[in-house]
Structure formats: C-alpha cells, structure tokens
Amino acid sequence: MSRFTGKTAIVTGASRGIGLAIAERLVADGAKVVITARKKEALDEAVASLGGTEHAIGVAGRADDVDHQAATVAAAIETFGSADLLVNNAGINPAYGPLMEIDIDAARKITEVNCLAAVSWTQQVHRAWMRDHGGAIVNIASVSGVHPAPGIAYYGASKAMLIHLTEELAVELAPKIRVNAVAPAVVKTRFAEALYEGREEEVSKLYPLKRLGEPEDISSVVAFLLSDDSAWVTGQNVVIDGGLTLAGGVE
C-alpha cells in the first residue's frame, strides 16, 4: 500500500508498544515517520526496526516539553519536507487506586502529559505546517475515558478530557485539518501489563471476542483515520475494545 506516499507523520511515545506499531503501519503504507520518546537508545532501536533513517528518525525528549515539541516538528519538516500527520500517543499513568488517595502532583502530571501536551503538539504542528497545508491528527484515548474504570479513575478522566478536546479541535480546525481519537481497551503492551499480567486468560473472558488487544489492532484503525479513506470523518472517538464495553465493563 502507498496511501501515505509523500506524507510525513509524527508519532509521540513511539519507541515501543502501540506507538511503534502505529509507526510501523504508517511506514508500511508509504509514510516517512518521526518518532519520539524519552530515551534515545530505545528510539535508535525503533528507527532501525522501521528500516533506518531513510524511513524514520527519532527525537528524544519529554512529551510535555514545548521546546522538544517544536524541535520535533522542525526536524520533521527539515528532514522529510512536511508534517502532515500527528498521532498523540504519549501517555502516563503513575497512579493506581481510588481518587480519594491520589497524589495531587501525580494527577497534575497526568493532565499535563495526557491532555495539555496533546493540545501543545497540535499547536506546534498547526503553526509550522498544517495551518497552510492541512493534515490529520489522531489522539490515543482509552475506554476508561468513556466508562468508569476503578483503580485508574484519574487516568480515565484525563482520557475523557482528551476525547472532548478531540471534538473541540475537530470543530476549530476544520475544514483543512481532521482530528479524531481512538479508545482502546487493554492492549498487550508493557504499559498495560499490570492490568493482565499473570491472569490474561481470566481477563480475556470479559471480552466478547475472548482476547486482549494487540498493538496492530490499534494501528490499523489509526492508519484509516489518518488516511483519505476517512476523508469525511472528524471529531469521532472510535472504541477498539473487543466488545468489552458492550459486555458492561472496563477492566
């Protein structure tokens, strides 16, 4: 496939897991990709797995660092000539437990990384490229943002905010820029291990499709939303959950 030939994508939090799977799919579909993460060594390995610097480059930094954001967008344009696509995948969840026990500093950091950073990345790519040339953006939310999820309540609240921000941005940036979100349930990544490790079979039984998600389950939908195949889709949140929310719960 070559539906992204001539396009450049920026994918945050993409040294592994869902972010790397998204980058792999975009490269396979013809895009040049700029990936970010905090650790340069992990990024170097990811770039090599994507086919090297002919197809991808990595820029190390914190997702909520505005200077890092600006440098990444500039690197995309300087290296590959554009910044057409943005995937706000970077996210954190350093707190587990009831809201009455959450550390407020941790909650503040979750908001900064999961919500404010997505707005700031969008501002950066809009100013540098998309305002004049158009583009497409996908934000990685969570089913915990559409259904209560005990134990990760504040993380879920941050993802609910991200879904609403997606809707607001879709209205503000139309018609030249489309903005959508996806809301995965549990996907088998290091980030989500605590939700299934040692009890995958038990957790999978909660899903009508009887399995947990794989990163590729998410990357295929993200690629669709970034592509012209979804040219009349904006402001939507696509739930990718193996039927979990239909069954009445979020693990």
pLDDT in tens, 109-149: 999 999 999 999 999 999 999 999 999 999 999 999 999 99
Q: pLDDT value at position 243?
A: 96
Over residues 5-20, mean pLDDT: 98
For residue 207, indicate whether it is catalytic. no
Q: pLDDT value at position 1?
A: 63
Q: pLDDT value at position 196?
A: 75
Q: Roughly how many angstroms between the first and final C-alpha of the chain, as a whole number?
A: 35
Distance of CA 224 to the CA centre of its chain: 14
Whether the pLDDT of residue 250 is over 70: the answer is no
Domains for the chain: give ranges and CATH numbers: 8-247 (3.40.50.720)
pLDDT in tens, 177-226: 999 999 999 999 887 777 777 788 888 999 999 999 999 999 999 999 99
Percent of the chain with pLDDT over 70: 98
96, 155, 196, 207: the active-site residue? 155
Q: pLDDT value at position 203?
A: 87
Torsion angle of the four alpha carbons 167, 172, 173, 179, in this order, in degrees rounded to the nearest 10: 0
Round to whole Å and give the CA distance between 139 and 86: 8
The reported pTM is 0.96
- Residue 10 corresponds to which tokens in the numbers above? 């920026």
Give the number of other Cβ atoms within 10 Å of residue 119's Cβ: 15
